[in-house]
Amino acid sequence: MSAQQIRAPRGTHDVLGDQAAARARVEERARALLEGAGYERIETPTFEATELFARGVGASTDIVQKEMYTFVDGSGRSLTLRPEGTAPVCRAYVEHGMHKLRQPVKLWYLSSFFRYERAQAGRQRQFWQVGAEALGADDPAVDAESIVLLARLLEELGVGETRLRLSSLGGPAARAEYRAHLQEHLRAHEDRLAEEVRERIELNPLRAFDSEHPGTRAVMQSAPRLLDHLSPEDAEHFAEVRALLEEAGVAYELDPTLVRGLDYYTRTVFELTSDALGAQSGVGGGGRYDGLVAELGGPPTPGMGWAAGIERILLAGRAPAAGTAAIDLYVAFERGLDEGPPEGGRVGVRAGAVSPDGEPAATVGARSTEGEPGERGAAEGSARSGEHAPAERGAEPKAHGSAARNNPRRAAFRILHEARAAGLAAQMELGGRSLKNQLAHAARLGARYVAIVGAGGAAEETALKDMQARTQQEIPTETVVHAVLRGLRDL
């Protein structure tokens, strides 16, 4: 009876083949765009002190109350798998004294995050985000640049039907005043609100704008709007952000009901959506968080940033998969030449013999001896002793050992090693294929050259095929790497 199969946990998935290539393309585009704009890569630990998120994200948020993966380690400390990226980046900013650097400090990341929520298309319990944070400047141009960078990234990745929703939450004073007005409105209609919203009237009344409850949504239609309560300074800041976006040709929709799900946001908030995703249309978003660094024990420091879900981008976009890496050389070999008895000896292969995979085997005459076990060990040791760090393409390859000259498989392995040491992208036959299928496999890989070791009936002889020029030449096995290097230089 076979053992029960173990599957990936619900809300997680394996990233395979083409999916990994598409993700690599997203990372490549993000790196080029963000580092070109002065952002440097940062990666924070997968888990942090639970207090970081309770203080930074907000104790009343859904993330902290319902969605965090929290555990107690062997020392009794409460730790949490990171549910978002901004608080860890701000923790690192404080911990490493980045406020002493030239401001603003611009950082970007592409990392995995964890939230316990209902798994659905594009929303997983382990998910990946690309994000960018700019700390140390309150200039409206920082806000506008940040928004434009995300919009451009999504455009480059083929995310269609996008809309930019934009609003401002104002500063602490304006929001405190507005909060009182909103609480008064909610209490007046408390009987029509969802239970969850009623419980949050005192803690976080703004979250009522995110409710899907029909009665709550009807009540919020007549709720006061925060944009009407901005201070003159906050209104001026928001007006300049909008003007800069217009200068950049970025269209936006003012949405006074827009509330991000994290408590640290101040002033500018935004979200980019894609109608291609249907009801769950959010792709990425963010905003300004001018009080977060101080909340985490650092000096008063303004900040602005965003994050976008990789899974959401790939669902909504047409990000081209990263191309398969070019193969300079594929090393094939005549099967059967080195498959003699363990003690060595001459082995004949009949014309018309059939290989194990059903393909006709090549007709080969005399077979070389493989040698005694002690000789094989010496040959393998010789191959291992030749290992060294990869060199620049064109490095001088070493000569073949005697055992490799008598054994096509070992000769092929030696060529593989020499080719990689010389800077070539090389692969070797490892699947037990017939020669015909080896050549077909090399063609599928897009190999420029194929070396067929033992093509003349002995391991010292190799047929080198130029797959593009469709030419073939018979050369000594020990000169294969030289020939490939010469051919590539002549392109």
Q: What is the CATH number of domain 329-489?
A: 3.40.50.800
Q: Which two tokens stand for residue 364?
A: 């080969």
Pairwise CA distance, residues 350 & 362, whole Å: 9
Question: CB burial class (10 A; 0-12, 13-18, 19+) of residue 52?
Answer: middle
Pairwise CA distance, residues 130 & 108, whole Å: 7
Query: What is the amino acid identity at position 265?
Result: Y
Q: pLDDT band for position 323 (50/70/90)?
A: low
Q: Which residues contact 355 (CB under 8 A, 6 or more apart)?
A: 335, 336, 361, 434
Instruction: Report pTM.
Output: 0.75
For 92-107, write each residue's pLDDT tens digit: 999 999 999 999 999 9
Q: pLDDT band for position 387 (50/70/90)?
A: very low
Strand pairing category for 426-428 and 449-453: unpaired
Q: Which helix (H) or strand (E) holds 187?
A: helix 172-188
> What is the predicted pLDDT for the residue at 271?
95
Instruction: Give per-residue burial for 366-398: e unless 16+ CB within 10 Å, then b.
Output: ebbbbbeeeebeebeebbeebeeeeeebebebb
Q: Is the pLDDT of residue 381 over 60?
A: no
| Shared fold status for 17-171+231-316 and 329-489 | no
Q: How many residues appear in the chain?
A: 491
For 50-95, write each residue's pLDDT tens digit: 999 988 787 667 778 788 999 999 999 999 999 999 999 999 999 9
Where in the chain are the domains? 17-171+231-316, 329-489
Render 331-368 in DSSP notation, one character per residue: EEE-TTTT-S-TT-----B-TT-B-TTSSBPPPB----
Query: What is the amino acid identity at position 116?
Result: Y
Pairwise CA distance, residues 333 & 336, whole Å: 9
Q: Which residues contact 45 (CB under 8 A, 6 or more apart)?
A: 82, 88
> What is the predicted pLDDT for the residue at 203?
76
- Token pair 């190999």 is found at 447
Q: What is the CATH number of domain 17-171+231-316?
A: 3.30.930.10
